[in-house]
């Protein structure tokens, strides 16, 4: 194990920078093997800082020369300690001239300046700028940048950086240059450059104030037929931000550049967003409906950062959710508004909540649990988490729920009025929300400081005589690493009451209320450990609809009967809770089935391998309770008044991961078998309905990613996947026919996925044809790997075989995610092979990847987060694998942090 454990950084040790930077001029002589960077910055001493030294950060490059106010510094003039270069006794006004030499083509971490497919790209957030030059690389140092790029004209005809293009021309020697100037102050993490042989789709676009701006989407040659959707998404994003928040584009030019090798989704560099190709390139041939949706969402997200992140940025990295939580909230609202209909919005909400529950709730309950505003970290890149992003977005959403849309907008306006051009904290954002609305949001701070998912339990009592319905809510929050005890949160709980005909009752929270316009949803504010709310004038005992639209990121429990859940599923006016009721019902049935299987297994084991009991546990004839669930699902499936997209989410069973989180001890195989058994049972019982749905939801004609068609395809393909559980000739024919006649990737991939999970004779042939047809489309080959990695029949040996395929490489993050991560996180039944072979595979790849790309390796490392919850002997084997990784020499800080926290907590 490495001995020089990297240091932990603490939030409460924040010290303002000793020097502020005013102006930065950079000159790049780009060369893949040796790029020279000359940086000239003017700095002034910061009167508000106790720090006396001029502190710069840098690593993984060669320092050629450093001059201060014209005089060259020798190593005796500064102290170099790890990444930190300290210059003591620097004057108040400093001009620093630094020359560094880099080797971009050997940079496999994809942080700083690197080469992808022969072109240059940068990634500076969080701390990549320090791999380009020595600099006060921290977000509270904001400066204006001028950037000169010089490179070979033939190989790199396109030279881009932040802001506006000032000048370009020839250098005579086969080289050329471009000079860029960003008129806005920015932190170094927003710096970017791109140089290479690229082409662009461009459009002039008129802003609300009448200014014309130039929009560009840059891609490699051959991809111009895949940029239209990203361009449309960008235009929609610009319009939306103008309309919803009155925020305008502040530059003359806005560029998006797609790159195939990228650690995450995209990056909001000022005026020069750099994107993973996965979130730019689309046409019906290569992209699915989900891809189309994701592109719109990520383009929106990065564009919205221009205000929430760039114009107002983070004081330090602990405040990351200030920009990320807020920007996720903004992109979620954007996506919902783009769909428009109530039921479409609900489907978006359901999708977001599914992600939150499946990944963030798990994170909150595991060894990496941290508050939305963390208190410490070893490697900041490990904190771009679902807690900071998705829970952070829920926290922002709660402001809107508590203050109303108008109130929220007032808060946003005040936030920009106060902080434009500044680097600020989550407290500053909360203060703007409170002050703009005259509200005390002191207690709300706990959403930022306390980790863990709060549990809210509700009980109720109806008094027919007094016509009151009393709801008692209590809250608690489990301990998390470093936080034993939690204080009560400020939780908005949206509640409705349904009468026996399923209609919303008017709500009166005070006696004798008879306001004609009484609301049918009330936002109860739970601020204490236990609180009672009394509804008056309640004419009959209602069924409560609790936490409507998922008004807070909590686990809510209430003892609903099965009949009440079925009733809510049928009647609730809140579509989110309608879906929720169905999920609760399905989860109940699945957990009962899991228990039965476990019992049957243990009985079978005592009778030496006799599996008759297992068969009886998953009998094909549904029990009365299962029949009730299936009846309710039938009602939903047949309900023509419900949007196809809604029916699709309502008919989908909770995932295996979701079910795991519901169990104290995880038995992955029992969960897998139970879910499969229930799916088969549903398929058998609803075969006719699924067939009918399949045929009724075809989308003939040219492909369109509009919400209606997307919903239809989703429902049709869900019907197909259920029918395929029957694994009979009729279903094989259906999927083969769909595969052969598909005119878009959504239908094609759905059919191929079904095929790969079946015993259909034509599966291997189509899998091979698919590869041949798309072997030049990297994003489609990723899909080809993923669909096999997550197929039921793919065991560890098969995934190892796929890793030997010539198209597989550890160098490309998308490819690694598509196979290795997809298998380890998306194929639980095989990954958790009882012999521990899945874990051995995992350990090998974490170690191998860490030497190439620590960020991607650390992400893979997190697959083991929940190891303590698994049944024996899995748990022990997982621990062994974790220890194997921990014992490996020279691990990165990224992986070390994840593994050591996992073993410690
Ligand atoms: N801000 C970037 C994420 C950078 C991740 C650095 N490890 C993308 C985004 O959230 O928009
Ligand atoms: Zn972001």
Confirm if 444 and 430 have CB atoms less than 8 A apart.
yes
**Cα 323 to averaged position of ligand 2 atoms, centre (Å):** 7
Enter the CATH code of domain 775-905.
1.25.50.10
**pLDDT over threshold 70, residue 469:** yes
What does the pLDDT look like over 743-767, one tens digit per residue?
Answer: 999 999 999 999 999 999 999 999 9
Average pLDDT for residues 44-55, to the nearest whole number?
A: 98
**Cα 266 to averaged position of ligand 1 atoms, centre (Å):** 7
Q: Please work out whether the CB of residue 268 comes within 6 Å of at least one atom of ligand 1.
A: yes
- Which residue owns the Cα nearest ligand 1 atom 3? 267
Its pTM stands at 0.98
- pLDDT value at residue 607: 62
What does the pLDDT look like over 477-494, one tens digit per residue?
Answer: 999 999 999 999 999 999
Q: Please work out whether the CB of residue 894 comes within 6 Å of at least one atom of ligand 1.
A: no
Q: Which of 123, 139, 314, 324 to mutate to test the pocket of ligand 1 (most atoms within 8 A of CB)?
A: 324
Confirm if 729 and 700 have CB atoms less than 8 A apart.
no
**pLDDT over threshold 80, residue 71:** yes
What does the pLDDT look like over 878-897, one tens digit per residue?
Answer: 999 999 999 999 999 999 99
- pLDDT value at residue 613: 67
Average pLDDT for residues 487-505, to the nearest whole number?
A: 98
User: Which of 269-285 are b and which e, b meaning 16 or more Cβ less than 10 Å from the residue's Cβ?
Assistant: bbbbbbbbbbbbbbbbb
User: Quick one: which H or E segment has residue 796?
Assistant: helix 796-803
What does the pLDDT look like over 855-864, one tens digit per residue?
Answer: 999 999 999 9
Enter the CATH code of domain 198-311.
3.30.2010.30
Matching fold, domains 1-196 and 455-552: yes
Q: Please work out whether the CB of residue 129 comes within 6 Å of at least one atom of ligand 1.
A: no
Q: Which of 187, 268, 317 to mutate to test the pocket of ligand 1 (most atoms within 8 A of CB)?
A: 268
Q: Could you tell me the sign of the dihedral formed by the alpha carbons of 792, 795, 800, 806, in that order?
A: negative
Q: Which of 122, 129, 266 to mutate to test the pocket of ligand 1 (most atoms within 8 A of CB)?
A: 266
**Cα 273 to averaged position of ligand 2 atoms, centre (Å):** 11
Average pLDDT for residues 660-672, to the nearest whole number?
A: 97
Residues labelled catalytic: 302
Q: How many CB atoms lie within 10 A of CB 511?
A: 11
Q: How much of the chain exceeds pLDDT 90, in percent?
A: 95
User: Quick one: which H or E segment has residue 767?
Assistant: helix 763-774
**pLDDT over threshold 50, residue 205:** yes
**pLDDT over threshold 50, residue 2:** no
Give CA–CA dist 180/184, Å, rounded.
Answer: 12
- pLDDT value at residue 1: 42
Please determine, looking at this structure, whether the domain spanning 313-449 carries the CATH number 1.10.1040.10. no
Phi, psi of 527 (to 5 degrees): -120, -15
Q: How would residue 211 be classed by pLDDT, with cut points 50, 70 and 90?
A: very high
Give CA–CA dist 163/137, Å, rounded.
Answer: 20
Domain ranges of the chain: 1-196, 198-311, 313-449, 455-552, 560-685, 775-905
Closest CA to 2 of 860, 899, 868, 858: 899
Please tell me whether residue 226 adopts helix, strand or coil conformation. Answer: helix
Beta bridge partners of 498: 504, 543
**pLDDT over threshold 80, residue 624:** yes
**Contacts from 340-346 at CB under 8 Å and sequence distance 24+?**
340/707, 341/643, 341/707, 342/575, 343/575, 343/642, 343/643, 343/645, 343/646, 344/643, 344/645, 344/707, 344/711, 346/549, 346/575, 346/576, 346/579, 346/646
Angle at 191 between CA 188 and CA 195, to 5 degrees: 150
Q: Which residues have C-beta under 5 Å from ligand 2, the single-atom ion? A: 324, 327
User: Which of 319-336 are b and which e, b meaning 16 or more Cβ less than 10 Å from the residue's Cβ?
Assistant: bbbbbbbbbbbbbbbbbb
**Cα 383 to averaged position of ligand 2 atoms, centre (Å):** 12
Enter the CATH code of domain 560-685.
1.25.50.10
User: What is the overall mean pLDDT for the chain?
Assistant: 97
What does the pLDDT look like over 387-444, one tens digit per residue?
Answer: 999 999 999 999 999 999 999 999 999 999 999 999 999 999 999 999 999 999 999 9
Give me 229's structure tokens: 């959707």
- pLDDT value at residue 513: 64
Please determine, looking at this structure, whether the domain spanning 455-552 carries the CATH number 2.60.40.1840. yes
Average pLDDT for residues 682-695, to the nearest whole number?
A: 98
| Radius of gyration in angstroms for the set of CA atoms belonging to the chain, rounded to a whole number | 28
Enter the CATH code of domain 1-196.
2.60.40.1730
Residue reference for tokens 């909770």:
654
Q: Please work out whether the CB of residue 264 comes within 6 Å of at least one atom of ligand 1.
A: yes
**Cα 685 to averaged position of ligand 1 atoms, centre (Å):** 46
Average pLDDT for residues 661-674, to the nearest whole number?
A: 97
């Amino acid at each position: 194990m490495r001995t020089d454990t990297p240091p932990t950084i603490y939030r409460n040790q924040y010290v303002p920078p000793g020097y502020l930077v005013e102006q930065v001029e950079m000159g790049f002589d780009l060369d893949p093997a040796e790029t020279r960077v000359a940086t000239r910055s003017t700095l002034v001493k910061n009167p508000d800082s106790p720090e006396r030294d001029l502190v710069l950060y840098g690593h993984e490059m060669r320092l050629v020369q450093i001059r201060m106010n014209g005089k060259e510094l020798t190593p005796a003039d500064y102290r170099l300690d790890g990444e930190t270069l300290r210059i003591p006794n620097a004057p108040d006004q400093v001009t620093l001239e630094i020359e560094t030499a880099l080797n971009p083509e050997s940079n496999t971490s994809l942080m700083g300046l690197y080469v992808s497919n022969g072109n240059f790209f940068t990634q500076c957030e969080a701390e990549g700028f320090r791999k380009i030059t020595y600099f006060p690389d921290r977000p509270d140092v904001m400066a204006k940048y001028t950037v000169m790029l010089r490179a070979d004209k033939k190989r790199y005809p396109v030279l881009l950086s932040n802001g506006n293009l000032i000048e370009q021309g020839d250098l005579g020697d086969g080289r050329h240059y471009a000079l860029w100037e960003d008129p806005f102050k920015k932190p170094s993490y927003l710096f970017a450059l791109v140089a290479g042989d690229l082409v662009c789709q461009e459009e002039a676009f008129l802003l609300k104030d009448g200014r014309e701006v130039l929009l560009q989407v840059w891609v490699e040659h051959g991809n111009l037929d895949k940029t239209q959707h990203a361009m449309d998404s960008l235009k929609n994003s610009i319009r939306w931000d103008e309309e919803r928040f009155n925020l305008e584009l502040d530059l003359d030019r806005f560029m998006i550049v797609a790159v195939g090798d990228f650690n995450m989704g995209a990056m909001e560099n000022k005026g020069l967003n750099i994107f993973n190709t996965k979130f730019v390139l689309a046409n019906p041939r290569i992209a699915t409906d989900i891809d189309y949706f994701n592109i719109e969402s990520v383009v929106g997200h990065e564009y919205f950062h221009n205000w929430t992140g760039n114009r107002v940025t983070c004081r330090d990295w602990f405040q990351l959710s200030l920009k990320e939580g807020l920007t996720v909230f903004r992109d979620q609202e954007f996506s919902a508004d783009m769909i428009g209909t109530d039921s479409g919005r609900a489907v978006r909400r359901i999708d977001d909540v599914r992600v939150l529950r499946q990944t963030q709730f798990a994170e909150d309950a595991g060894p990496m649990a941290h508050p939305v505003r963390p208190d410490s970290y070893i490697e900041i890149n490990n904190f771009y988490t679902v807690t900071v992003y998705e829970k952070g977005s829920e926290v922002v959403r709660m402001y809107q729920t508590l203050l109303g849309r108008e109130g929220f907008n007032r808060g946003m306006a005040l936030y920009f009025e106060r902080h434009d051009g500044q680097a600020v904290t989550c407290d500053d954002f909360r203060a703007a929300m409170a002050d703009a609305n005259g509200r005390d949001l002191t207690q709300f701070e706990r959403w930022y400081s306390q980790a863990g998912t709060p549990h809210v339990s509700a009980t109720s009592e109806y008094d027919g005589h007094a016509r009151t319905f009393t709801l008692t809510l209590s809250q608690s929050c489990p301990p998390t690493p470093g936080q034993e005890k939690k204080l009560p949160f400020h939780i908005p709980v949206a509640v409705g009451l349904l009468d026996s005909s399923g209609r919303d009752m008017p709500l009166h929270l005070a006696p004798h209320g008879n306001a004609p316009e009484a609301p049918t949803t009330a936002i109860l504010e739970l601020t204490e450990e236990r609180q009672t709310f009394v509804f008056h004038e309640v004419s009959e005992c209602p069924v409560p609809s609790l936490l409507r639209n998922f008004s807070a990121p909590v686990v809510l429990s209430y003892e609903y009967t099965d009949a009440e859940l079925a009733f809510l599923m049928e009647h609730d006016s809140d579509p989110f809770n309608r879906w929720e009721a169905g999920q609760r019902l399905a989860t109940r049935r699945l957990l009962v089935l899991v228990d039965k299987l476990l019992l049957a297994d243990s009985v079978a084991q005592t009778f030496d391998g006799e599996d008759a009991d297992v068969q009886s546990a998953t009998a094909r004839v549904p029990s009365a309770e299962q029949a009730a669930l299936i009846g309710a699902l039938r009602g939903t499936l047949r309900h023509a008044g419900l949007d196809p997209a809604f029916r699709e989410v309502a008919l989908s069973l909770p995932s295996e991961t979701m079910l795991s989180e519901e169990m104290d001890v995880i038995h992955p195989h029992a969960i897998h078998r139970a879910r499969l058994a229930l799916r088969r049972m549903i398929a058998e019982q609803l075969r006719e309905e699924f067939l009918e749905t399949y045929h009724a939801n075809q989308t003939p004609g040219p492909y369109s990613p509009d919400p209606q068609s997307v919903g239809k395809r989703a429902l049709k393909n869900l019907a197909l996947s259920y029918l395929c559980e029957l694994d009979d000739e009729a279903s094989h024919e259906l999927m083969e026919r769909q595969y052969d006649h598909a005119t878009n990737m959504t239908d094609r991939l759905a059919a191929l996925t079904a095929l790969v999970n079946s015993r259909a004779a034509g599966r291997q042939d189509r899998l091979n044809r698919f590869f041949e047809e798309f072997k030049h489309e990297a994003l489609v080959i990723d899909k080809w790997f993923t669909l096999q990695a997550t197929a039921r029949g793919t065991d560890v040996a098969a995934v190892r075989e796929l890793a030997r395929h010539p198209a597989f490489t550890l160098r490309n993050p998308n490819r690694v995610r598509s196979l290795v991560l997809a298998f380890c996180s998306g194929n639980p039944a095989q990954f958790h092979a009882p012999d521990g072979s899945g874990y051995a595979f995992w350990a090998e790849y974490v170690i191998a990847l860490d030497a190439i790309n620590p960020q991607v390796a650390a992400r893979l490392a997190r697959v083991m987060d929940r190891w303590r919850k698994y049944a024996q002997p899995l748990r022990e084997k997982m621990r062994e694998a974790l220890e194997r990784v921990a014992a490996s020499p020279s691990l990165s800080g990224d992986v070390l942090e994840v593994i050591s926290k996992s073993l410690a907590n």
